[in-house]
Amino acid sequence: MDRFESMTIFVAVVEAGGFSAAARRLGVPLATVSRKVSELEELLRAQLLTRSTRKIALTEIGQQHYETCRRLLEELDEAERLASGEYRAPRGQLIVAAPVGLGRFYLTPIVAEFLRSYPDVDIELRLADRVVNLVEEGVDLALRVGELPDSRLIAVRLGTISHVVCASPTYLAEHGTPARPDDLSAHNCVTFTSLEAQQTWTFRQGREVIRVPVHSRLSVGVADAAADAASAGLGITRLLCYQASPSIRAGRLQLVLREFEPEPMPVNFVYQTRRNMPQKLKAFIDFVTPRIKPKLVFDP
């Protein structure tokens, strides 16, 4: 039995939450995944997983063996990085994840500069409006918005971004400008479903958090569509500042209710702890951080 292969598959099953998910991630047949885990259990003479039709769970010995396998695989990966020269000079592939808008408007131009400066580094930039799991998805570095839960990840603070409420000058001229969050009850709104609940918007007055129900004439799944609909005069919308910035600078949207904006949300780079940091990752963080920080300052 190839112990390395069996360990790799076992760890993948645990981290993917099931045999089918692990098979898809590894690109191997489901039957192979099941057989390799069974062979590992036979070798150890111990049950590592309890299986049901819907989920798997680690046994006590399975938890111990998972932690050991994961540590050994991480050490092997680090040894390979060391042998390939990743700790001596920036080289190899770097996988970076970021939210769509933040990545598209702010990060991508800096990545282009970085690639021109570091010809031996290749980057896979994954843009998605969701929280990626760095370990499970093999991501080296993620640009993350919002408060960070306690974890083994290292964070590099980049700045903050805010929620803003805006509408077209034409809409405001026709329907009036809301002076307080409660005034939104008399307005048409365009909601962005990926940002928060469609029917309620959150504001702040001093230390008090205010939740206001809104009438959603249109709900959309991407920020560009919300900005376009509001620019066309359909109603008032609420976005993150960087999502609204292009339309605000062009004069298509106008900010309202600024004094009631909630606390800005932090923006961080996060990455896994390692005994040694690959030079490609260190070079990327050192290059991007001072260049992206000024872009996160919202100055409409």
Residue 167 sits in the same domain as residue 238: yes
Best CA proximity match to 49, nearest among 39, 36, 61: 61
pTM of the model: 0.65
Residue 177 sits in the same domain as residue 250: yes
Radius of gyration for the chain, computed over Cα atoms and rounded to the nearest angstrom: 24
**First CA to last CA across the chain, in angstroms?**
63
**Structure confidence at residue 168 (pLDDT):** 97
pLDDT digits (tens, 9 = 90+) for 214-235: 988 998 888 889 999 999 999 9
Helix count and strand count (H, E) for the chain: 11, 14
Domain span at residue 16 reads 3-84
**Structure confidence at residue 149 (pLDDT):** 76
Residue 236 sits in the same domain as residue 175: yes
**Structure confidence at residue 82 (pLDDT):** 67
- Beta-carbon contacts of residue 143 (< 8 Å; ≥ 6 apart): 96, 97, 98, 99, 102, 103, 107, 158, 267, 268, 269
Residue 156 sits in the same domain as residue 196: no
Both tokens assigned to 54 = 């819907």
The residues of the chain scoring below 70 in pLDDT are 1, 53, 81-88, 150, 194-198, 274-275
Residue 178 sits in the same domain as residue 241: yes
Residue 168 sits in the same domain as residue 102: no
**Structure confidence at residue 207 (pLDDT):** 84
Whether the Cβ atoms of residue 214 and residue 191 lie closer than 8 Å to each other: yes
Name the E strands within the chain: 49-51, 56-58, 92-98, 121-127, 141-145, 153-161, 163-167, 188-192, 200-205, 208-213, 215-220, 236-240, 254-256, 265-272
Residue 39 sits in the same domain as residue 181: no
Question: What is the strand order of the sheet 265-272 is part of?
Answer: 121-127, 92-98, 141-145, 265-272, 153-161
Give the end of a domain, one of 62, 84, 106: 84
Residue 115 sits in the same domain as residue 250: no
**Structure confidence at residue 195 (pLDDT):** 52
Both tokens assigned to 65 = 């063996």
**Structure confidence at residue 150 (pLDDT):** 66
Read out DSSP for 76-132? Answer: HHHHHHHHHTTTTSS-EEEEEEE-HHHIIIIIHHHHHHHHHH-TTEEEEEEE-SS--
Q: Looking at residue 120, which CATH number applies to its domain? A: 3.40.190.10
Q: Looking at residue 47, which CATH number applies to its domain? A: 1.10.10.10
What's the structural domain count of the chain? 3
Give the end of a domain, one of 53, 84, 115: 84
**Structure confidence at residue 128 (pLDDT):** 86
Residue 126 sits in the same domain as residue 272: yes
Residue labelled with tokens 């769509």: 100
Give the end of a domain, one of 84, 118, 134: 84
Residue 248 sits in the same domain as residue 181: yes
Residue 128 sits in the same domain as residue 172: no
Residue 127 sits in the same domain as residue 208: no
